[in-house]
């Protein structure tokens, strides 16, 4: 087990290295991106990457306080499900109105790989190989479709 300070240092170092690795990549539209804190440009729609001692995950999170609004956004994603999966090249998990780690109702579309541990530096290359292509593909999807969601906002 790590102290809070050690765990914080590991997380900071992990994400700093990931950010440096991703720095040469531009968004699908040619602009520079902070990949570790991807901005969708639409309030309450986030692309989130998470890694802990058990797994790595990446997903689209819908966080509007009104579950009915979340459902409207979710339905729009469902309408694009075949397109999303064609870009991602894999089936993701779709969960409407679930609770996050702090008890807020969120909707998420995500993919995870168990057995990866951020606190083992030997796992970092595998974690990066898991996250990198998926965030790039999410960006590709978002570049094509974000205007649809802007019109809903």
Listed in sequence order, the residues at least 6 apart from 59 whose beta carbon sits closer than 8 Å to its beta carbon are 47, 48, 92, 108, 109, 110, 111
- Across the chain, mean pLDDT equals 94
pTM: 0.93
Q: How far apart are the first and last CA of the chain?
A: 44
Q: How far is CA 58 from CA 10, 28, 30, 135, 151, in A?
A: 19, 18, 22, 8, 25
Query: Measured between alpha carbons, how far is 49 from 17 in angstroms, rounded to an integer?
Result: 14
What backbone torsions phi and psi does residue 115 show, to the nearest 5 degrees?
90, 5
Model confidence over 3-51: pLDDT tens digits? 889 889 989 999 999 999 999 999 999 999 999 999 999 999 999 999 9
What is the rounded CA–CA span in Å between residue 15 and residue 37?
A: 10
Q: Grade residue 58 by pLDDT with cuts at 50, 70 and 90.
A: very high
**What phi and psi values does residue 24 have, to the nearest 5 degrees?**
-70, -15
Ramachandran angles phi, psi of 136, nearest 5°: -65, -40
84-122 pLDDT per residue, tens:
999 999 999 999 999 988 989 999 999 999 999 999 999
Residue 1's pLDDT is 67
Closest of 57, 59, 54 to residue 110, by C-alpha: 59
**Domain region containing 69:** 4-152
Check: CB of residue 18 under 8 Å from CB of residue 128.
yes
pLDDT in tens, 123-133: 999 999 999 99
Provide the domain count of the chain: 1
């Amino acid at each position: 087990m790590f102290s809070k300070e050690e765990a914080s240092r590991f997380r900071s170092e992990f994400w700093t290295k990931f950010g440096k690795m991703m720095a040469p990549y531009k968004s699908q539209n040619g602009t520079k991106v902070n990949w570790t804190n991807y901005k969708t440009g639409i309030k309450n729609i986030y692309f989130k990457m998470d890694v802990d001692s058990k797994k790595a995950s990446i997903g689209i999170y819908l966080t509007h306080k009104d579950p009915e609004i979340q459902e409207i956004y979710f339905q729009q994603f469902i309408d694009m499900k075949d397109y999303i999966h064609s870009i991602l090249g894999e089936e993701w998990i779709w969960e409407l109105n679930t609770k996050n780690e702090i008890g807020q109702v969120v909707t998420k579309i995500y993919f995870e790989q168990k057995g990866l541990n951020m606190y083992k530096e030997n796992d970092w290359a595998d974690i990066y190989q898991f996250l990198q292509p998926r965030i790039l593909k999410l960006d590709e999807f978002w570049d094509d479709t974000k205007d649809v969601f802007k019109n809903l906002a």
